[in-house]
Structure 1
Amino acid sequence: MRLPIRPDAVLVQAVIAGALSFAHLHDIANAAGQHGWKAWAYPISVDLLLVAAWHRLRTLRAAGSPARSAWIWFAVALVASLGANVATAGLLDLDQVPDWLRILVAGWPALAFLGGTFLAHNPLPRAEPQALVPADCDPEPSIGLDLEPVREAVTAPEPAPALPPAPVPAPGLVAHARKVAADHLTATGTPIDLDTLTARLGVPAPLAQSIAAQLT
């Protein structure tokens, strides 16, 4: 399956700008006495230093470290590229290159090598590792802090109120109750209930319950 090729305006512009800058650097190096493959190597050296400095700059900023050194080498490569572009705009006679420009072009390889080495081999600052606390070791508690868990107060249930002791009926009252219960059974054919017994005897309900317990 073929992917559709879509022209990217930014990419096209970058290619055009890079090609023009490459040609300007080549012309300056050639005019300064660097002929053949050496004239083609100068643009590559300048562009690589520019890209390396920009990459180092982004890495340092992402790590939160000072990026002053990366800025310096980025500015050096940018001035070299921009200076070549401006110099080829008719401001400099390429047939009569001044001596100071010849010195700068001849000294560029050493300067680029120094900058590339510094950007490539200068390690990033590392954060200090935090001390690890063993799993079986409790961290030291802070002074003045109570680390004991708060326990909720549990209210004990109140005991049920003690019932008064059941009254003890007199033997004569029990005998009378037996007679009343027998008469009720003879008249109705059913055993006497507690309410009827209480009404017939005319006693309180607790006393009637004690009497009924002795009748059964």
Structure 2
Amino acid sequence: MSRKLRLDAVLIQAVIAGALSFSHLHDLAEAAGQDGWKAWAYPISVDLLLVAAWRRMRTQADNRAAWIWFVIALAASLGANIATAGLLDLEEVPAWLRILVAGWPALAFLGGTLLAHAPTTPEPAAPDTAPLTAPNPEPAQDITVERAPDPAPELPPVPAPAAASAPATAPPTVAVPPALLDHARKIADTHHATTGGRIDSAILRTRLNIPAPLAEAISAQLA
């Protein structure tokens, strides 16, 4: 019940304010030399510009042009209310006010045209509010597979170990290609930077896919 009474009170207040402002604009236009139907057209023009600017402001709140034309129309309405309140002699209207009244139709037409044909910014699409459950990130693992640039050369057969009673002899020297040695050195540097330790022959054998004697020979040269 209280909501209905408040709404009716607002409508009554709007009707009273509109009627008074309409009458003041008519009186001012008539005093400025616009007689007959022309004096009644001025308040209609001001009110229409107010409504057009207000509708544009409702659909596009950040439109500066709509605010400017709303302020212009509001200033015309308030100016007429103040001018007809005894502050201006309506029998001797100054020339500048006659010029403003005479130029108002063109100004109102320009404002109405700009408001009617101003581009409307499309409303942004509503974002998808469905919760997205991201999987728990797993710790990154080093899965880089190092491959030798060139296949390992064929090695001569390893001789059978001598009898236990025979004196121990030095293992045969295995030739390491320079390209393979350079590649192994890069792998060793990467391993040292990652783990902080020195790479051994078993890791070199796995990374380079080479026989154990060649891996030991490379490890010995990298030491």
Structure 2 length normalisation: TM-score? 0.52
Match of 1:38 in 2: 38
Match of 1:121 in 2: 117
Match of 2:168 in 1: none
Distance between the aligned counterparts of 1:79 and 1:36, measured in 2? Answer: 24
Distance between the aligned counterparts of 2:16 and 2:124, measured in 1? Answer: 46
Deviations 1:48-105 (A, max 9, x none): 10111011011112xxxx3111100000000000000000010000000000000000
1:98 to 94, 104, 107: 94
Return the offset for 1:125: 2.5
Match of 1:69 in 2: 65
Q: Is 1:49 aligned to 2:49, yes or no?
A: yes
Distance between the aligned counterparts of 2:73 and 2:64, measured in 1? Answer: 15
Q: Is 1:24 aligned to 2:20, yes or no?
A: no
Secondary structure of the 2:56 match is: helix
Distance between the aligned counterparts of 1:84 and 1:75, measured in 2? Answer: 14
Which structure would you say has the larger Rg?
1
Distance between the aligned counterparts of 1:16 and 1:127, measured in 2? Answer: 36
Instruction: Name the aligned partner's letter for residue 33 of structure 2.
Output: G
Secondary structure of the 1:8 match is: helix
Return the offset for 1:128: 8.9
Distance between the aligned counterparts of 1:21 and 1:128, measured in 2? Answer: 39
After the TM superposition, list the runs of 4 or more consecutive aligned residues in structure 1 that deviate by more than 6 angstroms. Answer: none
Instruction: Name the aligned partner's letter for residue 36 of structure 2.
Output: G
Residues 86-165 of structure 1 correspond to what in structure 2 (within 5 A)? 86-126=82-122
**Once the two structures are aligned, what percentage of the paired residues are identical?**
75
Secondary structure of the 2:119 match is: coil
Distance between the aligned counterparts of 1:81 and 1:47, measured in 2? Answer: 8
Question: How many equivalent pairs are there?
Answer: 123
Instruction: Name the aligned partner's letter for residue 116 of structure 1.
Output: G
Q: Using a 3 Å threshold, how does the CA distance of structure 1 residues 127 and 53 change in structure 2: closer, same or farther?
A: closer
Deviations 1:124-163 (A, max 9, x none): 123799xxxxxxxxxxxxxxx9xxxxxxxxxxxxxxxxxx
Deviations 1:90-125 (A, max 9, x none): 000000000000000000000000000000111212
RMSD: 2.3
Match of 1:81 in 2: 77
Return the offset for 1:9: 1.3
Distance between the aligned counterparts of 1:55 and 1:99, measured in 2? Answer: 34
Distance between the aligned counterparts of 2:74 and 2:58, measured in 1? Answer: 16
Instruction: Name the aligned partner's letter for residue 106 of structure 1.
Output: A
